[in-house]
A and B are shown apart, each in its own frame.
Chain A
Amino acid sequence: MDHGLEDLKKHWKNLSSADGIDRLGIEAPTVSVGSKSIGNRRKLLRFYRVLTVISVLYIILAPGMLFPMGIFPTWALALLSIFFAAAAAMNIYMYSLIKAVNFSEMSTLDLLERVRTIYKVHIRQTIAGILIVIPILSMMLWYFYSDPSIFLGGVCGALVGALIGWRNNLRVIRYLREIESELASAYN
């Protein structure tokens, strides 16, 4: 075999050894955390990606589709667009925070602090979201009070939305708590 290929084979095989990472000229990753954390990070990233897409799609598509129907007043559509724009911004922010969590490069203590920060941000965002959506929904329900069918549909939609939102909120909290607990046991 050619010398070059022999060298390549030798070098490649050596990369598998314990100090193989050093041979790549990069810092050895610390493996201090169980893979539940890694899996949860991935699920959270996917979750916020989907939420961002939904929010952006609403802003792009919904006003154009709902306005011609003439059911919703302009101010309601505008307020809902503002709500979804805020939601998209918050989701993108959360996504960037979670994306920055790097289990192979950051120390356990840094990771713990980062995850606790994300948890606090999530709680604040949940409260902000509720504070924004309650007045908007109240105004819309007040407006449609005289039309029982739309009013009832709105109430049912709000209830279903609240249930889904609360379930998602609990899911995010569970993922973050699991990561935090795994990190804490690795640190102690």
Chain B
Amino acid sequence: MTPSKEKNTRFTNLLREHNGLIYKVCYIYAEDSDHLNDLYQEVTANLWTGFDSFSGKSQISTWIYRVAINTCVSYIRRNARHSKSTALDENAFSVVDPGIERAEQLRQMYEMISLLGRLDKAIIMLWLDEYSYDEIASLTGLSRNNIATRIHRIKQRLANFETV
């Protein structure tokens, strides 16, 4: 197998394995399905570009998170029409995991997340995936204290849906 074919195969496998991760990040930043596809293709292109430079020092999922978040944030910044946070479509997240009685509550939480600022979206996504404050700080370039404060505020807002 030639090096370029081998790289293609490795990359395709990586995408297959981590498609969910890439898509869910894009989903949080997307306004509609067209925008979602644009973001997905943009993230994939950037992952391909940086694929050779991935050193393996961090986990592959962390690297994908970093590229996906940076790509989505820059893409939205570049495209002025997407600069405002917009609530996702009402049926954007079909919540099928937990009990039926919690589905509506989760949908509202996702809707609230979709209304957060670009950076807060990144922070809450990483926190939900159990990244430590230090890791989130390193990924976002903010201080640990700033991260802690932001997460506390977002959690408070999300906790309001407990009573819904």
Residue of B nearest to A19 (CB): B20
Query: Which B residue sits closest to A4, measured CB to CB?
Result: B162
A23 contacts the other chain (CB 8 A): yes
Could you list 5 A-B pairs, sorted by A, with CB under 8 Å? A9-B130, A15-B23, A16-B21, A38-B48, A105-B37
B119 sits at the interface (CB 8 A): no
- B residues whose Cβ falls under 8 Å from a Cβ of A: 8, 11-12, 15-21, 23-24, 27, 33, 37, 40-42, 44-45, 47-49, 61, 91-98, 102, 105-106, 109-110, 125, 128-130, 155, 158-159, 161-162
Chain A residues with Cβ below 8 Å from B92 are 24
In Å, the complex CA distance between A4 and B158 comes to 8
Please measure, in the bound complex, the distance between the C-alpha atom of A39 and the C-alpha atom of B161, giving whole angstroms: 41
Are B41 and A31 in contact, with the CB atoms below 8 A? no
| Cβ B106 vs Cβ A42 within 8 A | no
Report yes or no: B19 in contact with A5, Cβ–Cβ below 8 A: no
Cα distance, A17 to B16, chains bound together (Å):
10
A117 within 8 A of B: no
Say how far B129's CB is from chain A's closest CB, in angstroms. 6
Q: Are B93 and A9 in contact (CB under 8 A)?
A: no
A18-45 at interface with B (beta carbon < 8 Å): 18-21, 23-26, 28-29, 31-32, 34-36, 38-39, 41-42
Interface pair B95/A5, CB less than 8 Å apart? no
CB of A15 within 8 A of CB of B98, answer no
Q: Taking A16-B24, A23-B97, A34-B12 as contacts, is the C-beta distance between A28 and B159 under 8 angstroms?
A: no
* Bound form: Cα–Cα A41–B129 in Å: 32
Please tell me if the beta carbons of A13 and B130 are within 8 angstroms of each other in the complex.
yes
Decide if A8 is an interface residue (CB 8 Å cutoff): yes
